[in-house]
């Protein structure tokens, strides 16, 4: 009897680790996960109304009457649907949500995955340079936990720089 429950728990644990997206499967129907921001920006009129999943790092969150607008620096999504870190980006896009999203929570630097519909483009300056943003009407948002550095994190005790990490002689 205990073998069955152990096997069931093991199967549940392993299948939970194989999640392919941060959203339920039924919400992902009709979403082309192969679409990247570069292709969408190159031909936005061809993809108007397309359901997409994009993500990246939040640059700014601006609440407006009846909606919130989030400016996002695009990052490639990993297998889990989380934006990857690094210096590569296809540009920026705007996500609009009908809900109020607090800028203190949806803060600059946080990672965000957006499931939504392409609405078109909007031109705005970045500094003094005009930039064309892709606009996505957000259906669902996944705000990922903050990434904290191991070194210097107050949760861990400080280590001297010459402290051995492994118990091997130098």
Task: Please say whether the beta carbons of 82 and 113 come within 8 A.
Answer: yes
pTM for the model: 0.75
Per-residue pLDDT, averaged over 1-19, amounts to: 49
- Residue corresponding to tokens 């980006």: 89
pLDDT of residue 154: 58
pLDDT of residue 146: 84
* pLDDT tens by residue, 34-87: 889 999 999 999 999 999 999 999 999 999 999 999 999 999 999 889 999 888
Tell me the HSE value of 4 on the side-chain side, using a 13 A CA sphere: 1
Handedness of CA 81, 85, 89, 93 (dihedral sign): positive
* pLDDT tens by residue, 108-160: 999 999 999 999 999 999 999 999 999 999 999 999 998 766 555 555 555 55
Choices 2.40.50.140, 3.90.110.10, 1.10.132.20, 2.40.128.20: CATH for 24-143: 2.40.50.140
pLDDT of residue 58: 97
DSSP per position, 19-65 = ---SS-GGGGTTB-TT--HHHHHHSGGGGTT-EEEEEEEEEEEEEET
Please give the torsion angle defined by the CA atoms of residues 45, 49, 54 and 57, in that order, rounded to the nearest 10 degrees: 70
Cα(47)–Cα(18) distance, rounded to whole angstroms?
A: 30
Tell me the HSE value of 151 on the side-chain side, using a 13 A CA sphere: 5
154 DSSP assignment: T
Cα(105)–Cα(101) distance, rounded to whole angstroms?
A: 8
Closest CA to 134 of 34, 58, 36, 21: 36
**Pick the residue with more confidence: 28 or 10?**
28
Length of the chain: 170
First to last CA, the chain: 52
DSSP per position, 11-29 = HHHHHHTT---SS-GGGGT
State yes or no: pLDDT of 16 exceeds 60. Answer: no
């Amino acid at each position: 009897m205990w073998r069955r429950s152990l096997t069931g728990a093991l199967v549940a644990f392993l299948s939970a680790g194989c999640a392919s997206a941060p959203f339920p499967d039924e919400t992902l129907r009709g979403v082309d996960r192969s679409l990247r921001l570069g292709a969408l920006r190159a031909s936005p009129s061809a993809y108007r109304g397309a359901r997409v999943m994009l993500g990246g790092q939040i640059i700014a969150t601006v609440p407006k009457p009846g909606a919130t607008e989030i400016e996002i620096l695009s990052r490639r999504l990993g297998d889990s649907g989380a934006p990857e870190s690094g210096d590569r980006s296809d540009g920026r896009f705007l996500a609009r949500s009908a809900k109020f999203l607090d800028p203190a929570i949806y803060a600059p630097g946080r990672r965000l995955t957006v499931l939504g519909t392409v609405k078109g483009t909007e031109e705005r300056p970045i500094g003094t340079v005009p930039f064309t943003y892709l606009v996505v009407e957000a259906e669902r948002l996944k705000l990922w936990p903050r990434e904290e550095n191991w070194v210097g994190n107050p949760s861990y005790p400080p280590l001297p720089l010459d402290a051995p990490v492994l118990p091997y002689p130098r």
